[in-house]
Structure 1
Amino acid sequence: SANQVICKLCHLPGERDGAEMEVQLLADAERLFPFPLEDLALDFQALGPSRVQPGCLEVMVAACRQSALASLATVVEEAGLELAAVEVDNIALSRMLPLGCMEGSALLRLETRSVTLYGWQPGKAFLRVELPQDELRASGQLPEHLQALFAEAYLPARLWVASSALIDPGWLQGLSEQLELPCRQLPGLAGLEQVDGSMLLAGALSVGGWQP
């Protein structure tokens, strides 16, 4: 699950190729991640020129334990499938946002047993916070909890909402007013039916499978 994965935004000299960046990241791994090197699985992607360090590249780095991947591979093999890739949910779900709307957006994913907030802010590591679902539903304090999180991290330009249940437009309008930012139901992608919160990640992974 995504809470077993750590994503960090790093800045590396721009003249380095992929192999050199990997060597540098592995050398810094003990400082960046709380996993022993012998159990470390690491991947990275260069995002473009750094916004804060001239001459450097912004590189998103994801790491987890090899042992966690091994157990996942076992499950996949027992299902008669072959594991080709593992993707962090933040990255997969960003494909479900309207075109050009990823940077500065946040996504609130409401499911039967979980409430998760995601965020994509330029120059920052991706945000992923699991909220206390039972407590929030019982108390009705979701807006207050979101306000506190945005105060600690950053205020997004907009909040998209996806739910496994029907979203009441009045509730969504009230959330917009309380948070003082646009809150909209996440629209479906062109050519796809509306994907509800329970199938959102599956849809995101499917979209990724279509891309070359």
Structure 2
Amino acid sequence: MFGFGRKQTALLGIDIGSSAIKLVELAPGSATGSKPFQVEALALEPLPPHSLVEKKIADVAQVGQAIAVAVKRSQSKTKRAVVAVAGSAVITKVLSVNAELSDAEMEAQIQLEAEQYVPYPLEEVNLDFDVLGPSESSAGMVDVLLAASRQENVDDRVAALELAGLNVEIVDIESNAVENASGLLIHAAKLGPDRLTAVVDIGATTTTLHVLRAGQNVYAREQSFGGQQLVEEVQRRFGWAREEALSRLTTAPIPAPLQAEVLGPFQEALARQLARALQFFYSTSAFSRVDEVLLTGGVAQVPELAEQMAKRLALPVQAADPFAQMAMPAELDHLLQQHGRSAMLIAVGLAMRRFQ
């Protein structure tokens, strides 16, 4: 189940974020139309505070209830679902194995080699693997991606979805979901497929930098910095309720006191965090510059955030829209205008597993 489960005819992509459940269901677009995908259903349901702690589910019942509400609001009849664990909760390793091994022999070989790379007893982890293709370094060998995570990381997510009446068909990794959606992002943004694209997912409590090349995730790094800090500071400074704070932050024009006292300092801090994350990438790779930055997450809908980040980073920056190449009913488009299209990136990537 973990990592690379089988494809089904219809799947709900369920992103369990730090502050909300995001749900997306996709279908093939019209064979004669310009949109390759059709949005069948979507929903965004807030989570009670502290339901997740450092991307681990702290209250399975609360999360399950929120998923059930999201499913009901989406009006989807699909019961098959795909969910993801955070990249920080997963150990991955590319192994080279003999290409002539049968599936059973390859699985046994990988189980043996996994003991070298997984720092937990194997009976306490979920293991899966995917054959990437012929090895470039060794003739007669194939590269295999091994993925492993503690059982609790997988089991808690499965339990939450089952409480909502869903059947979990696939447990993926968040970075894989970003990679799945990256083709849409690059196409929508009219970026070259061989360019180096930084996708910055600004979550409620964690910001994750993904660097993509030719649609493949070549680097990922998480930092403890997110939009929740911005919302809480707005509430503290101005005494607004959470919903009002969110509305003020995402509606242009931004009031001058809010920009000067809270949003400006947050933008400076975010730029420093991103510059530091990019510098870590440069120091561990053969690259010295990315070609562009795509912002995702709820914070990405703050007016002029992309423009401000572009000035501070001296790089092209824009908000990502994973729905740009999708046909969508008007009522769902209105819902996205309320909550932000960029926040649904991982859910879209998970829902795209239907087509793999």
Do both proteins adopt the same fold according to a TM-score greater than 0.5, normalized to the shorter chain?
yes
1:171 is displaced (CA, Å) by: 2.4
Letter matched to residue 353 of structure 2 = G
CA contact (8 A) 2:97 2:144 kept: yes
User: In structure 2, how many angstroms separate the alpha carbons of the residues matched to 1:77 and 1:205?
Assistant: 17
Q: In the alignment, which residue of structure 2 is the partner of 1:202? A: 347
Q: In the alignment, which residue of structure 1 is the partner of 2:220? A: 128
User: In structure 1, how many angstroms separate the alpha carbons of the residues matched to 2:89 and 2:146?
Assistant: 14
Unaligned runs of at least 5 residues, structure 2: 1-84, 187-192, 230-264, 328-332
Q: 1:7 to 1:75 in 2, by over 3 A?
A: same
**Secondary structure of 1:34's match?**
coil
Q: 1:37 to 1:49 in 2, by over 3 A?
A: same
Unaligned runs of at least 5 residues, structure 1: none
CA contact (8 A) 2:207 2:223 kept: yes
CA contact (8 A) 1:47 1:58 kept: yes
Q: In the alignment, which residue of structure 2 is the partner of 1:146? A: 277
- In the TM superposition, what are the counterparts of 1:29-178 in structure 2 within 5 Å? 29-98=114-183, 101=193, 104-120=196-212, 126-133=218-225, 137=266, 139=269, 140-154=271-285, 155=287, 156=290, 158-164=292-298, 165-166=300-301, 168=304, 169-174=306-311, 177=314
1:75 is displaced (CA, Å) by: 1.8
Letter matched to residue 70 of structure 1 = D
1:72 is displaced (CA, Å) by: 2.5
Letter matched to residue 129 of structure 1 = R
Q: 1:143 to 1:67 in 2, by over 3 A?
A: closer
1:73 is displaced (CA, Å) by: 2.4
Q: CA RMSD in A?
A: 3.1
Alignment length (residue pairs): 207
| Percent sequence identity over aligned pairs | 23
1:106 is displaced (CA, Å) by: 3.2
Q: In the alignment, which residue of structure 1 is the partner of 2:320? A: 186
1:27 is displaced (CA, Å) by: 0.4
Q: 1:55 to 1:202 in 2, by over 3 A?
A: same
Q: 1:103 to 1:50 in 2, by over 3 A?
A: farther
Greater radius of gyration (CA): 2
CA contact (8 A) 1:108 1:116 kept: yes
User: In structure 2, how many angstroms separate the alpha carbons of the residues matched to 1:111 and 1:48?
Assistant: 33
Q: 1:8 to 1:103 in 2, by over 3 A?
A: farther
User: In structure 2, how many angstroms separate the alpha carbons of the residues matched to 1:73 and 1:143?
Assistant: 33
**Secondary structure of 1:161's match?**
strand
TM-score when scaled to structure 1?
0.79
**Secondary structure of 1:200's match?**
helix
Q: 1:200 to 1:172 in 2, by over 3 A?
A: same
Residues 72-130 of structure 1, C-alpha deviation per residue, up to 9 Å, x if partnerless? 222222222222110111111112113684885432112343211123468x9853311
